[in-house]
Chains A and B, each alone.
Chain A
Amino acid sequence: MSIEESNNPMASSTTTPQPVNEQPRRARFTPKAILLALLPLVLLAGVLALIVATDAGLGERAVPPIETLNVQQVLLPEPGMIELEVVNAGPDPITIAQVMVDEAYWQYEIAPGPTLERRDTATISIPYPWVQDEAHGIALLSETGVLFETDIPVAIQSPVADRASFAQFALVGLYVGIVPVSLGLLWYPSMRRLGRQGMNFVLALTVGLLAFLAVDMWGEAQEIALGAVGFLDAPVLVPLLVLLTVALLVVVGNSLRGRTGESGGLGLAYRIAGGIGLHNLGEGLAIGAAFALGEVALGVFLILGFTLHNVTEGVGIAAPVVGERPRLVHFAALAAVAGLPAILGTWIGAFTYSPFWTTIFFAVGIGAILQVIYEVGRLIVRSQVKAGEPAMTWTTFGGVAAGIAVMYATGLLVAA
Chain B
Amino acid sequence: MAGAVAGVPLLLSGNSTASDHGATPTADGLGTQVEHAEHSPSATIGDIDVSRLSIDPSDFIQTFDYGEATTMADGTVVREWELIAIDREIEIAPGVFFPAWTYNGQVPGPTLRANEGDLLRIHFVNGGVHPHTIHFHGIHSAFHDGVTGIGRGDIQPGEEFTYEFTARPFGCHLYHCHSAPLKRHIHKGLYGGFIVNPDPAKHGDQAKARHPDHPESQEWQEFVMVMNAFDTTFDAGNEVYAINSVAFHYMKHPIVIDRTRPVRVYLINLTEFDPINSFHLHANFFNYYDTGTTLEPTLRTVDTIMQAQGQRGILEFSYTDHEPGLYMFHAHVSEFAELGWMSVFDVQ
Contacts and interface: CB of A to CB of B under 8 A. Distances in A.
Contact of A107 (B45, B97, B233, B340): B45
Contacts, number: 62
A95 B96 CA distance: 9
Chain B at the A interface: SS class: loop
Given A98-B96, A103-B335, A145 B42 contact: no
Contacts of B42: 104-107
B227 interface: no
Interface in B218-233: 230, 232-233
A98 B94 contact: yes
A407 B232 CA distance: 49
A97 B233 contact: no
B164 interface: no
B97 A144 contact: yes
A141 B41 contact: no
B95 interface: yes
Residue among B44, B93, B230, B339 with most chain A CB within 10 A: B44
A147 B231 CA distance: 10
Interface residues of A, number: 20
A97 B96 contact: yes
B338 A104 contact: yes
Contact of B97 (A100, A108, A143, A147): A143
A363 to B, nearest CB: 35
A5 B93 CA distance: 69
Interface in B228-259: 230, 232-233, 239, 247-248
A114 interface: yes
Interface string A109-153: 000001000000000000110000000000001111111000000
A97 B42 CA distance: 15
Contacts of B44: 98, 105
B233 A146 contact: yes
Interface string B75-101: 000000000000000000111111000
Contacts of A114: 95
A106 B94 contact: no
Contacts of A107: 41-43, 45
Interface in B310-348: 335, 338-340
Interface of A: 95, 97-98, 100, 103-108, 114, 127-128, 141-147
8 contacts: A97-B93, A97-B95, A98-B93, A103-B338, A104-B338, A114-B95, A127-B41, A147-B232
